């Protein structure tokens, strides 16, 4: 833990962009959860810079990684390490600083904190102790990959890293197989071929986008069918490098029921639940739009109430 002045006593509250210096001032006491770039250091918001420069302390996974970002913008805020290996010891000290009225910025090595990093317990503890917790949003590898994958984004599940052990990896894939949403996974270059092979075997035919080194010089987005990409990387002899986000489309929809079948489903649901819930149930089963089903359900509900065939 840093021994520099606590609370908001530090004087050097500024940051530099190009040839221009900006005063950050002080920020409100509490824990500020700050998103940082996932690769390109230019991908940081002005608010994030002001928060990092105005905080009394920055808690980060690796001080060397965060120092590179601070040096880029000439930010002098002291750093303290907060990661999986020291969290139990470091968390009480950070909470004590918050009790004293400090403004602490929490960052991860890259992207939005709490997404595959150890910040969750600190944020929860700060809430439970009654300290303000503020989001300073920005870059996220998950959302960046979704934005360029060309796959459905109306429902998605972030599943983090798969296990490096094959049995555990296959078991997890089996759990994910039935989820009716786009899946987002993180993976490493050395493990990508084995992971794709197990994903293809466990999930069947699906669209996939493999997003590598997003926002960096060698950014690459490779799209295709899951089995085809698995074969491609199985045959790849060159070492795969970089950070990878795998975006996998939802399960292929089965043939949709006929209009008569849909009416029957709606009637059955309307006999049990409210109109809104009936529409939700049938939309989930059939894949039809809620708007179309709602119009049809209104007609069926009127039919049921006045006996007029529709």
Residue 308: pLDDT above 80?
no
- Burial classification of residue 307, based on how many CB atoms lie within 10 Å of its CB (0-12 exposed, 13-18 middle, 19 or more buried): exposed
What confidence tens digit (pLDDT) does each residue in 153-176 have?
Answer: 999 999 999 999 999 999 999 999
Spell out a b/e string for 41-73, using b for 16 or more CB atoms within 10 Å of the CB, else e.
eebbbeebbbbbbbbbbbbbbebeebeebbebb
pLDDT greater at residue 288 or residue 93: 93
Residue that the structure tokens 């060397």 belong to: 64
Spell out a b/e string for 213-252, using b for 16 or more CB atoms within 10 Å of the CB, else e.
bbbeeeeebebeebbebbbebeeeeeebebbbbbbbbbbe
Q: What is the overall mean pLDDT for the chain?
A: 90
Does the model's pTM come out above 0.95? no
CB atoms near residue 281 (< 10 Å):
18
Could you give the CA distance from residue 60 to residue 113 in angstroms, rounded to a whole number? Answer: 9
What confidence tens digit (pLDDT) does each residue in 199-236 have?
Answer: 999 999 999 999 999 999 999 999 999 999 999 999 98
What's the chain's length in residues? Answer: 310
Say if CB 214 and CB 40 are below 8 A apart.
no
The pLDDT value recorded for residue 5 is: 44
Report percent pLDDT > 90 for the chain: 72
The pLDDT value recorded for residue 21 is: 96
Q: Which of 146-155, 213-222, 282-291, 298-307 has the lowest mean pLDDT?
A: 298-307
pLDDT greater at residue 277 or residue 139: 139
What confidence tens digit (pLDDT) does each residue in 178-191 have?
Answer: 899 999 999 999 99
Average pLDDT for 25-53: 96
CB atoms near residue 288 (< 10 Å):
18
What confidence tens digit (pLDDT) does each residue in 88-136 have?
Answer: 999 999 999 999 999 999 999 999 998 766 789 999 999 999 999 999 9
Q: 247 CB contacts (<8 Å, ≥6 apart)?
A: 145, 146, 149, 151, 182, 183, 184, 208, 209, 210, 211
What is the distance of C-alpha 192 from the center of its chain?
Answer: 20
Q: Which of 53-57, 157-161, 164-168, 287-291 has the lowest mean pLDDT?
A: 287-291
pLDDT greater at residue 145 or residue 288: 145
3-state SS class at 24: coil
Provide the pLDDT confidence category of residue 3 given band limits of 50, 70 and 90.
Answer: very low
Would you state the structure tokens that stand for residue 14, as one six-digit string?
């500024």
The pLDDT value recorded for residue 266 is: 86
The pLDDT value recorded for residue 26 is: 86
């Amino acid at each position: 833990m840093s021994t520099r002045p606590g609370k908001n006593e530090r004087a050097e509250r500024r940051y530099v962009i190009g040839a221009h210096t900006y005063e950050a001032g002080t920020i409100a006491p509490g824990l500020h959860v700050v998103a940082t770039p996932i690769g390109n250091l230019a991908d940081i918001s002005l608010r994030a810079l002001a928060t990092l420069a105005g905080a009394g302390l920055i808690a980060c996974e690796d001080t060397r990684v965060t120092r590179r970002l601070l040096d880029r913008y000439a930010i002098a805020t002291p750093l303290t390490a907060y990661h999986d290996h020291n969290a139990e010891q470091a968390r009480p000290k950070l909470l004590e600083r918050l009790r004293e009225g400090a403004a602490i910025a929490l960052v991860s090595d890259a992207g939005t904190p709490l997404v595959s990093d150890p910040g969750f317990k600190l944020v929860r503890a700060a809430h439970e102790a009654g300290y303000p917790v503020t989001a300073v949003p920005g870059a996220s590898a998950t959302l960046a990959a979704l934005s360029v994958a060309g796959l459905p984004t109306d429902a998605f599940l972030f599943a983090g890293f798969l296990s490096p052990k094959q049995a555990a990896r296959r078991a997890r894939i089996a759990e994910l197989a039935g989820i009716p949403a786009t899946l987002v996974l993180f993976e490493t270059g050395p493990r990508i071929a084995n992971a794709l092979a197990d994903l293809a075997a466990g999930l069947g035919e699906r669209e996939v986008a493999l997003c590598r080194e997003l926002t960096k010089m060698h950014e690459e987005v490779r799209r295709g069918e899951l089995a085809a990409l698995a074969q491609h990387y199985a045959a790849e002899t060159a070492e795969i490098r970089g950070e990878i986000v795998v975006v996998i489309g939802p399960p292929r929809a089965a043939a949709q029921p006929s209009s008569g079948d849909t009416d029957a489903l709606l009637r059955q649901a309307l006999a049990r639940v409210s109109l809104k819930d009936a529409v939700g149930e049938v939309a989930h089963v059939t894949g039809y739009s809620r708007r179309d089903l709602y119009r049809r359900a209104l007609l069926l509900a009127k039919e049921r109430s006045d006996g007029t065939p529709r």
